[in-house]
Chain A
């Protein structure tokens, strides 16, 4: 029983963390067909901004998180106007923006490296202590991550379903031209989506670094997993991505317990391959019609 609780607790934490890093990626792909390869670097940037705001400026943790969201949101906006918008009309937009954002990610990581150095740094936004259930210890930080993930998902669902901006985002994602004919300014919607995705990346980065530590390239692993989760769920499907993230988190914890940590990622990839053979467009994805 204790083992089950332990696996569920660490699996849910991992899943929740994956979910936070995945929704930003899924949102951008769903709206623009843009695979933002700098998402991982934005994670790291968010983690470092929070660290800087708290340790060097002495700000309250909530303000540190807010600063991280603001900076990453602005960078996301910058990515739209500098890279995505000029390429949007191109027939090869998906390939071009893929490569361009790899470059942007490298720039962001190197800026972080120059400013903060290559050494691992602890994330000051961190709860100590743990909740004890029987013989199982669940660190408070894990509970915080779960709570933040749940709150974020509720907020995002509210935004997408109930607000004018959310309706515009969904309409643009489902049919860009029809959205334009309804009076939606798709360029503005895209910019807002990238800013939002940047802010989400910041939260994700703070959470990820609070469990391990800050490193300039810390975004690589969560980005890779977020990408895998997006592919499994069906690229661009935000709700599917959240579900897939939680399931994969628990499966990874289970595999780590049964077979050992070194096999957990391999098992994860094996599962992904199996899913993609069975459903090439993802679990919740639609068959994509490729337009010429």
Chain B
């Protein structure tokens, strides 16, 4: 099994402060991988480093064997990594449809846009009803759906979701994770960042625990749930 995404010894940070201290991780093609850990310990920073929003201080990143470390964000998208950022970050004054179309902004994705739009509407039928609505008037759950749909429009090899459950009601969180599971089952490679281990334990093929900018444990979901001492030490659960 060759890795789809491999991170080698990644270090990055803000100002004089390093946030990640040499993170190494390999993610296989297909299925769901989860990065869990307490808030403020570098999960979001890791995704930002992968998508090129944060410059690497050291280490390397490769996608399917091709080095993508140090590329601009648009080049990373073009290479096949799509980052759905925390808190939606929709284009607030655009309609749902315009937001989705922005996901297919790059020429390669634009050519596939009509077909992908059908797929997104099939997966998230609510968006089809709401397609003419201005994004800022949507509910939190709907916005999250638009964010995921917009990410899917790019047709990336790897979809990175930063805390898709953040700030949502439990029933909506379940809906979001149903969609994520459905995508993973269909063969889409997904890397999800999540604070609550229980939400991903039964779905993720691999769970990595990030604490204080370091990868402290990784393994299968059930394995993690069978280790209460890890959960207690790092997640206070």
Contact = CB atoms under 8 A, between A and B. Distances in A.
Interface of A: 164, 167-168, 170-171, 174-175, 177-185
A185 B90 CA distance: 17
Contacts of A179: 91, 102
Nearest to A180: B73
A184 B105 contact: yes
Contact of A177 (B85, B106, B154): B85
A183 B105 CA distance: 7
Contacts of A178: 85, 89-91
Interface stretch (B21-29, B92-100, B169-177, B225-233): B92-100
B85 A183 contact: no
B159 to A, nearest CB: 12
B106 A183 contact: yes
Given A167-B101, A168-B105, A181 B83 contact: yes
A171 B102 CA distance: 8
B6 to A, nearest CB: 21
Contacts of B83: 181
Interface in B185-204: none
A180 B105 contact: no
Contacts of B126: none
Interface residues of B, number: 26
Given A177-B89, A180-B53, A185 B74 contact: yes
B90 to A, nearest CB: 7
Contacts of B82: 181
B91 A171 contact: yes
Contacts of B8: none
Interface of B: 51, 53, 72-74, 77-78, 82-85, 89-94, 98, 101-103, 105-106, 109, 150, 154
Contacts of B73: 180-181, 183
Nearest to B151: A181
Contacts of A174: 91-94
Given A167-B98, A167-B101, A168-B105, A181 B91 contact: no
B102 A182 contact: yes
Contacts of A184: 74, 105
A175 B105 contact: no
A183 B94 contact: no
Given A167-B98, A177-B53, A183 B93 contact: no
13 contacts: A171-B94, A171-B102, A174-B93, A174-B94, A175-B90, A177-B89, A178-B90, A178-B91, A179-B91, A181-B77, A181-B89, A182-B103, A182-B105
Given A174-B94, A175-B89, A183 B101 contact: no
Nearest to B83: A181
Best-surrounded residue of A164, A167, A174, A183 (most CB of chain B within 10 A): A183
- Per CB-CB distance, the 10 closest pairs between chain A and chain B, nearest first, are A178-B89, A183-B106, A183-B77, A180-B73, A174-B91, A183-B74, A182-B105, A182-B102, A183-B105, A181-B83
B135 to A, nearest CB: 9
A182 B82 CA distance: 8
B105 A170 contact: no
B90 A170 contact: no
A246 B101 CA distance: 33
B231 to A, nearest CB: 32
Nearest to B106: A183
B94 A182 contact: no
Contacts of B92: 174-175
B69 to A, nearest CB: 17
A191 B85 CA distance: 26
Best-surrounded residue of A164, A171, A182, A185 (most CB of chain B within 10 A): A182
Contacts of A167: 98, 101-102, 105
A182 B85 contact: no
A184 B83 CA distance: 13
A178 B92 CA distance: 11
A180 B76 CA distance: 10
Nearest to B92: A174
A181 B83 CA distance: 6
Contacts of A171: 91, 94, 102, 105
Contacts of B51: 181
A287 B206 CA distance: 43
A237 B54 CA distance: 30
